[in-house]
Amino acid sequence: MTRDIESVEQVGVVGAGTMGSGIAQVAAATGYDVILRDIETKYVEDGLAAIADRVDRDVEAERRSENEAAMIQERISGTTTLDDLTACDLIVEAAVEDMDIKQDIFSDLDAMTSEDAILATNTSTLSITSIASVTKYPERVIGIHFMNPVPVMDGVELVAGEKTADDVLTLARSFTETLGKEAWVSDDKPGFVTNRILMPWINEGIRAYNEDVATKEDIDKGMTLGTNAPMGPLTLADHIGLDVCLHATETLYNEFGDRYKPAYLLKRKVEAGDLGKKTGKGFYEYE
């Protein structure tokens, strides 16, 4: 197999949560055969159900036909067995943001796939070089950081590790373009481009609310109307997940020090289990 976009026919996705199911959906919508894997059958079924719900809503909104929706679902198969991804040409890992877990996954994938297959991680903060260090072929490991929600957001962040091969970066860019996304490239530095800049914005919005600078509604209104951002920092934090924001901010804090220190209120809400939209309550309440 040569590393060019024509060689990619089957895509594997490890992790069937919000990000993984979204990646599987857009890949299937492009025409790729997709295998969606998670550690338990329930998680796989939940991911497939989320995809079905999204494409059904697309049909209702007349954004795609019933036939297109059916074809997307037919192209995606689910599994709890990592070995089922052996023949995949490109695999995107979208597991939890934990270095040990990601390294375990990449070590297993490295041992069971062709050395020409591309192994990508959807990590938003962790080092690509460190993830690749457990593999025999680190040159084929790359970061492909999709934005949430994947079916809606047009941008993708590509991150080359210390040993990522040039043709792997080229293929990753071509792959994201086939999905209808536009990519930018970041060096393998903590937080990359997006979270290095976004997390302080969210964190300071939370501090401003906690210090009674303004109501949460006016903080969000001020930042949307004042900067032309699509949503304010507190609303965005709820959509991302407060636990995800805290983890990303703590990673940056460990690397860069006090300028990234997590806001107290962010930590308190995560400790209380109010993680945002996915739990029904964060800074706002959701159905």
Which residues belong to CATH 1.10.1040.10 in the chain? Answer: 194-278
171, burial (CB in 10 Å: exposed 0-12, middle 13-18, buried 19+): buried
Catalytic-labelled residue, pool 21, 127, 195, 203: 195
Q: Class of the 194-278 domain? A: mainly alpha
Which residues belong to CATH 3.40.50.720 in the chain? Answer: 5-187
17 labeled part of a ligand binding site: yes
16 labeled part of a ligand binding site: yes
Strand order from edge to edge, sheet including 182-186 = 76-79, 33-37, 10-14, 90-93, 118-121, 141-146, 155-160, 182-186
Q: Full-prediction pTM beyond 0.85?
A: yes
Q: Judge whether 195 counts as a catalytic residue.
A: yes
Q: Judge whether 239 counts as a catalytic residue.
A: no
93 labeled part of a ligand binding site: no
User: Residue-wise over 62-81: b if at least 16 C-beta within 10 A, else e?
Assistant: eebeeeebeebeebbebbee
Q: Judge whether 67 counts as a catalytic residue.
A: no
124 labeled part of a ligand binding site: yes
In CATH terms, 5-187 corresponds, of 2.60.40.2220, 3.40.640.10, 3.40.50.720, 1.10.357.10, to: 3.40.50.720
pLDDT tens digits, the chain, 287 residues: what are they? Answer: 457 888 899 999 999 999 999 999 999 999 999 999 999 999 999 999 999 999 999 999 999 999 999 999 999 999 999 999 999 999 999 999 999 999 999 999 999 999 999 999 999 999 999 999 999 999 999 999 999 889 999 999 999 999 999 999 999 999 999 999 999 999 999 999 999 999 999 999 999 999 999 999 999 999 999 999 999 999 999 999 999 999 999 999 999 999 999 999 999 999 999 999 999 999 999 98
- Tell me, what DSSP letter sits at residue 232? -
